[in-house]
Structure 1
Amino acid sequence: MSREFRPGEVISYPYLWAWQQQHGETEGGKQRAVCVVVAIRGASDGNTHLALLAITTQPPQAGRAALEIPHIERKRAGLGDLKQSWITVDEYNYDIVERSWYIEPNQDTLGRFSKSFMIKIAGLFAEARGRSSRVNRFD
């Protein structure tokens, strides 16, 4: 893989929701914008490990942890055509770039969130980690 992924980048990805996985599905229903919240190069394997958060136009259901994306941040992320959107922080897709079936070499980003907005996202993601669902996408 020739490009580095950085937290805050927004890319297109076939996100698999945890409820879809629980129903036996293995593929995301559609390409959607996702935010790279964690990007770590593994010390033992040299691979790039990503935690990806879904961006959706659907308001969060009761009991879910999500953050509404302000207009200026939607523009920065390349999502300016969406009237409202949220980033879900209580579940994530875990993928390994070099083993991924879903990330293309030299894949372009849609945009990137600001550092201050990413701090909010990362803080909420960290708070939700104990009760969040991880969906592995590299198997």
Structure 2
Amino acid sequence: MSLEPKVGWLLSYSYLWADEHLRGAEEGIKNRPCALVAATRRDGDRIVAIVVPVTHSPPADPATAIEIPAVTKARLGLDAERSWIVCNEANVFAWPGPDLRAAGRQTPPSVWYGPLPPKLATAAREKLREFAKAGRLRQVPRTK
């Protein structure tokens, strides 16, 4: 797959939650929108990507997530329920990876829902960095 990563975009991904990973799961339970917050080239052409999940569940600690504005959700073709980008855990994988999924009912099929507003994408990336610096980011390694 010759798919270039688009940092700051929402994509469809089989996200594996950190708690599920700790219980021994190797696959995500369902496909969900996730924000691609980083993609770095390592060892030549290898790209390592970091995605954070989007959920309908309100965060127990509001400092761990950022709500997606309704207008953004509508533009991306998502449902009208409230949703949050969770920033205190992430999946890390070799791009493009086997866990990318088709987003919505697009023709032709694509993994991309579309771009997040730049301020929202930057806020999610910065919040993730804060958790990483504090040693509180729960990272789940997927493909290598």
- What TM-score does the superposition give when structure 1 sets the normalisation length? 0.87
Letter in 1 for 2:20: Q
Please state if 1:20 is matched with 2:17.
no
DSSP-derived class of the 2:130 partner: helix
Instruction: Name the CA distance, whole Å, in 2 between partners of 1:117 and 1:71.
Output: 13
Report Cα offsets for 1:29-69 as digits up to 9, x if no partner.
Answer: 00111110001122x23112110000000001237611111
* Counterpart amino acid of residue 102 in structure 1: D
Q: Is 1:112–2:112 an aligned residue pair?
A: no
- 1:10 aligns to what? 10
Q: Which residue of 2 aligns with 1:85?
A: 83
Contact 2:8 2:122 in 1 (8 A): no
What runs of 5+ residues in structure 2 fail to find an aligned partner? 102-108
Secondary structure of 1:45's counterpart equals coil
Change (3 A) 1:64 1:136: farther
Spell out, residue by residue over 1:68-104, the C-alpha distance to the aligned partner (whole angstroms, 9 max, x if none).
111122234332x232000000000001015x22236
Identity of aligned residues (%): 30
TM-score by structure 2 length?
0.84
Report how many aligned residue pairs link the two structures.
136
Alignment partner, residue 140 of structure 2:
135
Letter of the 1:24 counterpart: G
Q: Aligned partners of 1:11 and 1:63: how far apart in 2?
A: 23
Q: Which has the higher strand share?
A: 2
In structure 2, C-alpha distance between the alignment counterparts of 1:38 and 1:70, rounded to whole Å: 21
Name the Cα RMSD after superposition: 2.1
Asked whether the equivalents of residues 9 and 77 of structure 1 are also in contact (C-alpha less than 8 Å), the reply is no
Q: Distance in 1 between matches of 2:119 and 2:34?
A: 18
Gaps of 5+ in 1: none
The CA distance in 1 between the partners of 2:142 and 2:63, in whole Å, is 22
